[in-house]
Structure 1
């Protein structure tokens, strides 16, 4: 994570203390949780940005390349990419424009739907996606300073928040094998 000069006091803990002192005790833990997640997001995003800068990528551009690299044949309808990345179509268009300009992907006509556009990863795009993923795995994802159990707990807790907010549906249980 990003290292700076540590503050002598945790400002979120101090904000929680102030919340309680001002009569908002019932919201103090929620405020602390939201503020903590937002600060953690800032710290993590700074590390991701620092790592991806080497590849002239933003996280949005990296996500698109990685999504296409995972897709069968390195191709996916633009509407599917928009849905999976959970961003506004205009943001996807902007991201695709930049990746296409840089020769990392190309737009192709959909073979069965004349209204749809396929996004296709170029060889260069696949290479950049793989190298950027290796760098993120080494410099960011494997360096979260929590043990495995706490990492799993964190992911589970955030997934529960996302589920409750309607971000995705609870997966249906798979049937037992015969």
Structure 2
């Protein structure tokens, strides 16, 4: 019977496997986890200021500038003047950026289906409930207030 350390070690193993798979898939395109996160945020929020992106990513504006510089150099995003604030710049996905996010979404669906391919509906519901409980406890650790 597994104990709490065994379960925690398995969670760490899963996290590392997902991280390694992401790195392997994203590296050829010059993407890192941080750059990919910015692409996801830009995709879901539409054209955004760098300040809004920094807030959404919970990083400094300076960090976002570096991420946007790298993504712009690779053709994933473009900067354009803000229509009402001449001090601000909007960051939006290019066609290449949109295609990259679409491909990542498709890959995510394939992996998700593969991971739970032999789960019946009841098992999947129980697994989801267990994951929700673990996630809630991890959030408690991150915000002990």
- Residue 158 (structure 1) aligned with residue 135 (structure 2): yes
> In the alignment, is the contact (CA less than 8 A) between 1:52 and 1:132 conserved in 2?
no
TM-score by length of 2: 0.73
Change (3 A) 1:125 1:82: same
Q: Distance in 2 between matches of 1:57 and 1:129?
A: 11
- Residue 51 (structure 1) aligned with residue 25 (structure 2): yes
Q: Distance in 2 between matches of 1:116 and 1:163?
A: 36
> In the alignment, is the contact (CA less than 8 A) between 1:51 and 1:135 conserved in 2?
no
Partner of 1:42: 16
Greater relative contact order (CA < 8 Å, ≥ 6 in sequence): 1
Determine which structure has the larger helix proportion and give its number.
Answer: 2
1:17-166 equivalences in 2 (<5 Å): 29=4, 36-71=10-45, 74-138=46-110, 140-144=111-115, 147-148=123-124, 149-163=126-140, 165-166=142-143
Unaligned 5+ runs, structure 2: none
Coordinate RMSD, CA, aligned: 2.9
Change (3 A) 1:142 1:67: farther
Q: What per-residue deviation string (whole Å, max 9, x for no partner) do you get for residues 41-85 of structure 1?
A: 2121011222223543222222222222222xx311222222222
Unaligned 5+ runs, structure 1: 1-12, 17-28, 168-178
Change (3 A) 1:141 1:115: farther
Change (3 A) 1:57 1:162: same
* Count of aligned pairs: 137
Q: Distance in 2 between matches of 1:155 and 1:34?
A: 15
**Counterpart of 1:137 in 2: which secondary structure?**
helix
1:35 deviation in Å?
Answer: 5.1
> In the alignment, is the contact (CA less than 8 A) between 1:75 and 1:120 conserved in 2?
yes
